[in-house]
Copies of this chain bind each other. A is one copy, B any other.
Amino acid sequence: MAFPAISKLVVVGVGLIGGSFALALRRAGLVDRVVGMGRSPENMQRALELGIIDEQTSDFAAALSGADFVLLAIPVKQTAGVMQQMAPHLKAHTIISDVGSTKQNVVHAARANLGKRIERFIPAHPIAGTEFNGAEAAFPDLFQDKPVILTPLQENDQQIVDRVADLWQHCGASVSSMLPEQHDQLLAAISHLPHMLAFSLMQHIRTLSHTLSEGDPLALLRFAGSSLNDMTRITASSPEMWRDICLENRAALLAQIEAYQQELSGLQQMLADHDGESLEKLFAEARAIRQAWSAFRNQS
């Protein structure tokens, strides 16, 4: 079915994600007016100049009056506070969604703060980004062919879930749905765990340098080739951001680290047992998955 355009879109946090969402919906002709809210006056001014938003306000009552869609595009930590401020001004027909990279804690914040309005809150996570941020970095193609995961709640109307999915599809995204706990487990496995392994690997080199090279990791790293380079590229990421992600998705990440350690211990046991056959089988299975993944990406 075709959904009507949004007459008033409120974007709370007009950065890379929020700004790109507004630009993509504008380009698709699916939004009439965009109101921006945000804490940095300079960034809001830039968003106005770039035509990402039509007006800005810091007043939730004014912003939410007549709004048919509110997107929360803010750090997950701020979700509860913003929902608490919004709640008294939310209209019965307003749809609310977010872009948080963890979902159980966002759902928890929503249940604690939105009251009956939770019926029209559809949690979402677009898996897209660049190394830049702010309104300046926004562009309408950011979500093209990128996954967006919705984690609908039992309180949600299917029609509203479909509407949110439709908006993301018009942004070019490929939309899936799952439970919030499945989402958090999945992201812990495919993103958060790999980051922890990379950070630990770099720390391991650092520790080793104390016995091998008088505490100078570069004296070891100068012998390293592309394998260690590839494995540690993501350790250049923001320490503050990863501290927050870790704490926000703590339980799921702990479970993933534990399961990974069992996998690594299995390999260690094969090695302790001189079990070349099992090692080769393990390496071959891993390669087969890697090759299937590469083929999948090349065709899509």
Contacts and interface: CB of A to CB of B under 8 A. Distances in A.
Contacts of A263: 200-201, 203-204, 207
A282 interface: yes
Interface residues of A, number: 90
A242 interface: yes
A198 B231 CA distance: 8
B199 A259 contact: no
Contact of A296 (B205, B218, B236, B282): B218
Contacts of A217: 289, 292-293
A117 interface: no
What's the dominant secondary structure at chain A's contact region? helix
Contacts of A293: 217-218, 221
30 contacts: A127-B223, A176-B223, A185-B212, A189-B204, A190-B224, A190-B225, A191-B225, A193-B201, A194-B227, A194-B231, A198-B227, A198-B231, A203-B286, A217-B292, A217-B293, A218-B292, A218-B296, A221-B289, A221-B293, A231-B231, A231-B234, A236-B290, A239-B287, A240-B280, A243-B280, A243-B283, A247-B274, A247-B276, A250-B271, A261-B264
